[in-house]
Chain A
Amino acid sequence: MTSALRVILQIINYTIFMFLVGYFSIYPQFKHLEDDQAMITLAISHAGERREECRKIPPEELAKLPPNMRTPMDCPRERSPIVVELTLDGKVVISDNVEPPGLYADQGIDIFQSIKIPAGKHLLSLKMNDSVRVEGPTFTHKQDINLEPAQLLVIQFDSENGKFTLN
C-alpha cells in the first residue's frame, strides 16, 4: 500500500474518531424540561413532633433516680413521621410519608422532591402532618401561583414559625 493511501486512510480514521468524540460530547441534546414546563421542588427539613408527650416525673420517682439523672421531665426520643401532600388544581402531585431516621427514630427529616408541571396559573395546596398524636394535617397552605416556563418554585417549611414558604 502506498504511503499516500495510508495517510488518507489515517485521516479518515482520525475524522471518525473526532466525530465520535465531538458528537457525543454534546449530542444528542437532552430535554430536561419541555418549553412549556416549570418545576416545583418540595424541600422540607423538619423534625416531627415527639411520638409521646413529655411527662413530668413525680418527686418520689425522681428521688429514686441517681442524682445526675434527675431531670424533671421524661421526654421519649422517638419522633413522628412526616406526612406531606402537595395538591395542584385538586390533583395530588406529591405525597410522601417519611419516617424519622436514626437508631431511635429521633432525627430530623429531609424531603427533597421535584415535579415538572405545566407553566401558568395553578392552585397549590399543601398539607402536612408532623405528629402521630394529631389526626389530620397539622399545617396547611393554599396559594394561587403563576409559573413562567423553566421557573423553579421551591417550597420549604419554616419550622420556627410553623409555616410554608414559597420562593
Chain B
Amino acid sequence: MKTFNPIKRGYLALEEWLNISFGGELNPLYHLGTLTFFFFWIVLISGIYLFIFFDTSLSGAYNSVEYLTNEQWYLGGVMRSLHRYASDAAILTILLHMFREFALDRYRGFRWFSWLTGVPTLWFVVTLGITGYWLVWDELGLYVAVLSAQLMDALPIVSGSMARNFLEGQLTDRFFTLMGFLHLLGQPVLLIFALWIHVKRLSHVEISAPRGLALGSFIALMALSLYMPAESHAPADLGKVPATLNIDWFYLNIYPLLDHWSAGNVWILSIGVTMFLMIMPWLPPKKTGHAAVVHLDECNGCGQCADDCPFDAITMRQRTDEARWEYEVVVDDKLCAACGICVGSCHSSNIFRYKNKTLDTGIDMPQFPVDEVRQKTAEVISGIEGDTKILILGCDHAYDVKQINEPGIGIMTLFCSGMTPPSLVEYALKNGVDGVLLTGCRNGDCFYRYGNIWMDKRLDGDRKPVLRERADKSRIEVFRAAETDGKKLTQKIDEFKQHLILLNKEDAATTADNGTDGGAS
C-alpha cells in the first residue's frame, strides 16, 4: 500500500483537471520543458527585434524603448510586451516543472543530475531577466542596477564599490555596452550551455512544444500583450529615489528584501535556498535498482534497446566477441535507471522462445529477469479463477494495481509499462486469459519518460518489437491510471469484463454454429 502524499495528490488533481481541459496529448504539465523552450524562442525573436531599435547609450536607451512602446506600439510595443510576458511565463513553467518533479518524486535517484543542474539553470534565467530590466533604464532599471551593485559589493571577491558607478556623473555609455553584451550575448550563451548540461543524461529530448499548445500559449501571450502592454516607469534620475515600483515578481523578488536585510543576509538566504535545492536529491537519497545487464550470446546488436533507452544509458560499440554481428550494446551503470524498458524492446525477450529452458535475453534486469517474468505470469494466470479471466499488467509507478482484489483478475506488475515484451500479452492470451489490460502511468506522463509511449507503439505495430498480427487485439485494452485514478480503472475493468463476456459469447456461438454446420454437412 502506497502512503498518502498530499502534495502528489494535489498535483495529480491539477493534472487531471488539465487532462479534462486539454486532453492527455496537450496537457501543459506534460510539456513544461518544451513550453519553456517555446517561450525562450518568443523571447529570442522579440529580443532581436527590440535590439534593432535599441539605443545602447545612457541618454538614448530609455527614449528608444519609449519609441518602441508608444510610437511603434503596433509592432515594437507588442514585441516588447511579448518579450516581457514570455520571459515571465518561462519562469512560471520552470517553477511548475520543478514542483512537478518534486511532487512526483522525480528528482532523486538516477534523476539527481538533471535536478542538480536545473537549479543553477534557473539562476541563469533569472539573472538574464534582471539585466533585461537594467537596459530599459527607467526608475525600475535604476533601482535594480543600484541594488544589484550593492549585492555585488557585499561579495568578498569584488574590490571597490560597484554601487558608486550609479552616482550622478559617474555613469557612462560603457555601462550600456557592458549590459548589452551581457544580456544579448554572454548570458544567453551561458543559458544555452546550462540547458545542454541539464538534459545531458536524457535521450529523445524534445524541445518543440506541441503545435496546439504552442499556438494556444502564443495567442494567450498576444492577448495579454494587447490588453496590458508592457510599460516603462519614469526615466532613471540619478538624483531621485524610485518610490513606487511595479516590480516583476518573477525576476526581481529578491530586491525588496534589501529594504529590510543587509546584502550579506540576502546572499546567505539565496545561497542557502540554492544549496538546499541542490542537495534535495540526497534528502534522503533514493536507491536505483540494479542496472541492466547485457547477454552477448543473445544480443544481435540491433540497437533497439539503445534507441528506446530514455536516459542515454545504452550505447553501441564494435563487437568484442566472435559473433557474426557488427555491433553490441553496452550499458553505462551510472546512467541506467533500471526501468527495464530495454528488456521490453529486445527482440530476444520473446516469451515464446526457449519454452523448456531458461529464457535468456539480450539485455535483462538481474532483479527480475525476463525468464522470471514469464514464470510469474504463468503462475498468476494459473491462479485466476472465474469464467472471465483478465490479466492486468501494471507498473510500479502508477496506480497500485495490487490493490485490486476481484475474482477473475490476475495482477502482474513490472518496473515500467515499457518493460513488457509485446509477446507477453500474446503469451497470456494463449495461456488461458480472456483479456489483457495494460495500465501504467498516465499517457504522456511516464515515470521513465517513454515507457508507455513505446509500449503503445509496439501494440500498434509502430515500433519494434511489435505485437504480432495474430494476437487478438479485441482482447487487449490499454488504460493508463495514476495513483488517484482507482475508480476510473475499476470502471474500466468492469467495462472490459463485460466486453470480454460478450466476446466469449460470440465466440461460443460461432463455435456452436461451426459445429452445427459441420454436423449437417
Contact = CB atoms under 8 A, between A and B. Distances in A.
B153 A25 contact: no
Contacts of B354: none
Contact of A14 (B161, B167, B219): B219
Contact of B163 (A29, A43, A151): A43
Contacts of B230: 25
- Interface residue SS majority, chain A: mixed
A32 B245 contact: yes
A31 interface: yes
A9 B239 contact: no
B249 interface: yes
Contact of A26 (B163, B221, B241, B247): B247
Contact of A33 (B92, B153, B241, B248): B241
A31 B243 contact: yes
B383 interface: no
Contacts of B256: 30, 32
Contacts of B161: 43, 45, 110-112
A167 B246 CA distance: 28
B259 A32 contact: yes
Most buried by A among B153, B164, B227, B248: B164
A109 B208 CA distance: 52
B21 interface: yes
A159 to B, nearest CB: 13
B53 to A, nearest CB: 22
Interface in B459-479: none
A41 to B, nearest CB: 8
Given A18-B223, A25-B250, A43-B167, A38 B241 contact: yes
A134 interface: no
Contacts of A15: 220
A22 B216 contact: no
Interface in B394-416: none
A13 B15 CA distance: 12
Interface residues of B, number: 46
Nearest to B170: A43
Interface in B474-494: none
B127 interface: no
Interface in A22-56: 22, 24-35, 37-39, 41, 43, 45
Contacts, number: 122
Interface in B291-332: none
B110 interface: no
Interface string B103-115: 0000000000000
Nearest to A6: B21
A68 to B, nearest CB: 29
B36 to A, nearest CB: 13
B50 to A, nearest CB: 17
A28 to B, nearest CB: 8
Most buried by B among A28, A29, A33: A33
Nearest to A14: B220
Given A12-B21, A18-B220, A156 B248 contact: no
Given A21-B85, A112-B153, A152 B92 contact: no
A127 B243 CA distance: 29
A39 to B, nearest CB: 4
B89 A21 contact: yes
Nearest to B252: A30
A29 B150 CA distance: 22
B240 interface: yes
A156 B170 CA distance: 13
A110 B243 contact: no
27 contacts: A6-B20, A6-B22, A12-B21, A17-B92, A18-B223, A18-B224, A20-B92, A21-B85, A21-B88, A21-B221, A24-B248, A24-B249, A26-B248, A28-B249, A29-B244, A32-B243, A32-B245, A33-B241, A33-B243, A33-B244, A35-B243, A37-B243, A38-B241, A43-B161, A111-B161, A150-B242, A167-B168
Leading 3 A-B pairs by shortest Cβ distance: A110-B161, A26-B246, A9-B21
Interface of B: 18, 20-23, 28, 84-85, 88-89, 92, 143, 150, 153, 159-161, 163-164, 167-168, 216-217, 219-221, 223-224, 227-228, 230, 238-250, 256, 259
